Structure 1
């Protein structure tokens, strides 16, 4: 995207901008059009006296819009009455562990929470953690903190082959690409990538629906409500959310 941004900046008129956009691939076209549209909308809002949003907030908005548009093109073509198959958490392959992470963020007071759970090939939770961040920047900030805390935990356990799952698509993009290196969370992304490169033999980061990330989601929620700023780490998971682990295991045998 940075290369495209530079090329568009060098365009001398609107016609050349359109021509340049039409010459790019579909993914970059979509992101560029959404970004230009949201920039224009933001400019008009600020002129009318509205509070200016951060670049990260606009990037998050573009990401959500891109996902919604892509989903419109991938709707099932089965019979209208056909039942949609529910997404389920899946066990990792033999010899690997699965790390599910999630973040929570409340805009009104910038309170954030994070959570992770590490599970083995049987689906059993071998460790979980959660915590609160009182001055978070935005949702992506908390998602990335959850990734960092989960990766650190797997490192402490001596684990080198891991599947990381999150229901935040932008967190996956941040790990896999370079689009966020100049964002507010750029330093956090850099530290996370360095940690992954230094420690892990295999670590794949994947986006999954919320139904496949229920345990980590609840842990992040618990973390955001904690009165103690010290992180909480447990062997397994706390009793209050153990039913979610059992629910995942039950779903796999249906």
Structure 2
């Protein structure tokens, strides 16, 4: 990995509607797991600030999902970040589930990650509430993948 990367996520309500979007650049990425874990951590902070207590985390990183679902296993390069994510989940959320979502069904996050990696003037952008117009293209792409 080049040492830089992007992250992005969508926060959805119980009806599946996007209620928040965030993207950003990570200048000192260790590997793909690090960018995935960083995005997860940032998403947890945002939903916690919104007062959400029941969460469903979906990631296209099988390694992240396996690591978060298993006890221990925080000794890798981003072990401290993984441990912080686990503690945040257990301390701040009443109900949670962590599952794998193949990249073909996760085009929104994939597109947002690419957008985040291209940010130059600011390290991150958060859009609470109704997502911006360009995000609708990603959302539509996700729905099309689910129908295929």
TM-score w.r.t. the length of structure 1 is: 0.54
Contact 2:26 2:123 in 1 (8 A): no
Q: Counterparts of 1:186-197 in structure 2 under 5 Å?
A: 186-197=79-90
Matching residue of 1:238 = 132
Contact 2:8 2:39 in 1 (8 A): yes
* Alignment counterpart, residue 124 of structure 1, candidates 14, 17, 35: 17
Q: Shift of residue 155 of structure 1?
A: 0.4
Matching residue of 2:35 = 142
Instruction: Please tell me whether Structure 1 or Structure 2 has the larger radius of gyration of its CA atoms.
Output: 1
Whichever structure has more strand as a proportion of its residues is 2
Matching residue of 1:219 = 112
Cα distance between partner residues in 2 of 1:229 and 1:134? 12
After the TM superposition, which segments of 4 or more aligned residues of structure 1 sit over 4 Å from their partners?
A: 249-254
Of structures 1 and 2, the one with the larger relative CO (CA 8 A, separation 6+) is 2
The alpha-carbon distance between structure 1 residues 253 and 228, as it changes in their structure 2 partners (threshold 3 A), is same
Q: Shift of residue 179 of structure 1?
A: 5.3
Contact 1:165 1:205 in 2 (8 A): yes
Q: Counterparts of 1:1-254 in structure 2 under 5 Å?
A: 107=1, 109-178=2-71, 180-234=73-127, 235-249=129-143
Cα distance between partner residues in 2 of 1:176 and 1:250? 29
Pairwise CA RMSD: 1.9
Q: Which runs of 5+ in 2 are unaligned?
A: none
Q: Shift of residue 189 of structure 1?
A: 0.6
Q: After superposition, give the CA deviation of every residue in 1:130-176 in whole Å (9 maximum; x if it has no partner).
A: 11011110110001001101111110110011111011000011111
Q: After superposition, give the CA deviation of every residue in 1:44-94 in whole Å (9 maximum; x if it has no partner).
A: xxxxxxxxxxxxxxxxxxxxxxxxxxxxxxxxxxxxxxxxxxxxxxxxxxx
Contact 2:58 2:99 in 1 (8 A): yes
Matching residue of 1:91 = none
TM-score w.r.t. the length of structure 2 is: 0.90
